[in-house]
């Protein structure tokens, strides 16, 4: 009765938290199963970035709770014993969630993940005692240092690993619920992070992606600048020195925290891959002000140009919200112009949706749905064209590819990423996994490059 299935919604931070929770549970003797149907315990790690994400998890929990009470033909008793909700939505909505999900067993916020094994032990003990079902176990209060306890990784070799370096965000972007769900910015100790990455390198990890809601603010409270370098740059330099690590990536930075010391890293630290995810959200200063993004269009473009000067092969991805309250056709035209000027390789484009509890929610949802839809379509079409054009410039070149796994489709086709974070597909074999291979690019689509591994 200790098979646990963890379903993760949302961002890479959530994926990483779920991985660390799974590692703690394995260490406590639980078995992590991939299929819901096999599980005695299901934990939903939730996302709060949009109302839709929350409704999805609530719907799922409601269906699972129904199953929980229904005996399966094979088993006299229901298989599912424990259902828990964790993460951003649990933190953001809190106890009122129990009104719509009264039979939930566990409700754990973003800063109490390290208590999940104890809670499951207690819940199962009550099951075994066949004692009365305890009321829902709820833990939502904050514990700043809890993130230091989430170090575990999946068993076996990970060619590319996610590493959380900080939690929370002090910014107050008007449309965003993250500061409420994840709390104030707090950094993990630099020693802990370096130690964790050394451990990963020793197991064969070649690439690390540093995670945080606003990574370039890492350590601003905890560490002083040294020789004009921010704590984040100091951390990058320490990771750069770790033997075995060949590639470093990070997400998400905030344009406002981009200083010259960080830009120089793209010139000086060869392991730092020349791809950056730099959310812009809008190309209109009026909308950036309404969003409280604390930078202007020109400042954003200056950062992009400085990065391209530091590394001419720089690749960019971004986040854009269309239809934020107050967005006019003229505002949107400025977003399109910026989009064309930067020539993003990849972009996540979102139609604004009201997020209760945010400042933007008080501005009213002023842009009609069909207008949001058409603006979204316009950017998606531009993205497809730009992405294809940029990929086609790589045909005939040789790309360094970190081979991750067999591709989903195609016999003997393997998948990896070039330094620009582009997916590359090529005929290969299992011995290639984990290697940095030169691949000659023979063709390109909007989303991937195809080629041949050179000897």
Q: 294 or 305: whose CB is closer to ligand SF4?
A: 294
Name the minimum Å distance from CB 22 to ligand SF4: 25
CA distances from 322 to 269, 344, 377, 402 (A): 35, 16, 10, 34
211 and 253 in contact (C-beta within 8 Å)? no
Cβ neighbors of 47 (< 8 A, separation 6 or more) are 9, 10, 11, 14, 53, 54, 57, 87, 88, 89
Name the minimum Å distance from CB 144 to ligand SF4: 17
Give the residue carrying structure tokens 């929350």. 54
Q: 291 or 403: whose CB is closer to ligand SF4?
A: 291
257 and 216 in contact (C-beta within 8 Å)? yes
Q: 45 or 387: whose CB is closer to ligand SF4?
A: 45
Q: 171 or 435: whose CB is closer to ligand SF4?
A: 171
- 23: closest CA among 91, 90, 117, 89? 117
Return residues touching ligand SF4 (CB under 6 A): 169, 171, 173, 176, 178-179, 213-214, 254
Q: 201 or 278: whose CB is closer to ligand SF4?
A: 278
Name the minimum Å distance from CB 169 to ligand SF4: 3
Q: 179 or 231: whose CB is closer to ligand SF4?
A: 179
214 and 169 in contact (C-beta within 8 Å)? yes
CA distance 382 to 171: 30
272 and 248 in contact (C-beta within 8 Å)? yes
CA distance 209 to 195: 15
Name the minimum Å distance from CB 173 to ligand SF4: 3
Name the minimum Å distance from CB 188 to ligand SF4: 17
Name the minimum Å distance from CB 183 to ligand SF4: 11
Q: 277 or 311: whose CB is closer to ligand SF4?
A: 277
- 140: closest CA among 116, 162, 163, 111? 111
CA distances from 56 to 44, 45, 169 (A): 11, 12, 25
Name the minimum Å distance from CB 320 to ligand SF4: 12
């Amino acid at each position: 009765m200790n098979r646990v299935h963890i379903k993760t919604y949302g961002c890479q931070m959530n994926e990483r938290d779920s991985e660390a929770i799974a590692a703690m549970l394995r260490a406590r003797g639980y078995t992590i199963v991939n299929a819901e149907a096999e599980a005695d315990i299901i934990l939903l790690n939730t996302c709060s970035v949009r109302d839709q994400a929350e409704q999805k998890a609530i719907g799922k929990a409601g269906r699972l709770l129904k199953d929980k009470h229904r005996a399966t033909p094979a088993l006299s008793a229901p298989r599912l014993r424990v259902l828990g909700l964790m993460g951003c939505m649990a933190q953001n909505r809190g106890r009122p969630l129990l009104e719509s999900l009264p039979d939930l067993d566990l409700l754990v916020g973003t800063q109490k993940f390290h208590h999940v094994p104890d809670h499951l032990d207690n819940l199962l003990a009550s099951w075994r005692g066949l004692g009365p079902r305890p009321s829902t176990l709820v833990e939502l209060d904050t514990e700043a240092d809890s993130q230091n306890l989430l170090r575990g990784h999946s068993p076996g070799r990970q060619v590319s690993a996610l590493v959380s370096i900080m939690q929370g965000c002090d910014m107050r972007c008007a449309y965003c619920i993250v500061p409420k769900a994840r709390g104030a910015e707090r950094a993990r100790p630099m020693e802990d992070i370096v130690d964790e990455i050394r451990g990963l390198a020793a197991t064969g990890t070649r690439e690390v992606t540093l995670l945080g809601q606003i990574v370039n603010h890492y350590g601003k409270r905890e560490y002083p600048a040294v020789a004009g370098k921010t704590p984040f740059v100091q951390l990058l330099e320490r990771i750069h020195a770790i033997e075995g690590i060949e590639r470093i990536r990070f997400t998400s930075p905030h344009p406002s925290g981009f200083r010259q010391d960080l830009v120089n890293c793209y010139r000086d630290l060869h392991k730092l891959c020349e791809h950056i995810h730099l959310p812009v959200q809008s190309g209109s200063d009026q909308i950036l002000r309404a969003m409280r993004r604390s930078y202007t269009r020109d400042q954003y473009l200056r950062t992009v140009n400085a990065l391209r000067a530091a590394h001419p092969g720089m690749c960019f991805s971004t986040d854009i919200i269309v239809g934020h309250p107050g967005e006019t056709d003229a505002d949107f035209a400025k977003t399109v112009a910026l989009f064309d000027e930067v020539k993003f390789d990849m972009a996540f484009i979102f139609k604004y949706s009201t997020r209760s509890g945010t400042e933007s929610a008080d501005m009213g949802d002023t842009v009609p749905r069909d207008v949001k839809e058409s603006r979204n379509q316009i950017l998606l079409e531009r993205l497809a064209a730009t992405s294809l054009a940029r990929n086609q410039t790589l045909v005939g070149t040789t790309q360094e590819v970190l081979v991750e796994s067999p591709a989903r489709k195609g016999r003997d086709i393997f998948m990896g990423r070039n330094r620009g974070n582009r997916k590359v597909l090529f005929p290969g074999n299992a011995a290639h996994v984990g290697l940095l291979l030169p691949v000659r690019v023979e063709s390109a689509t909007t989303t991937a490059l195809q080629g041949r591994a050179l000897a």
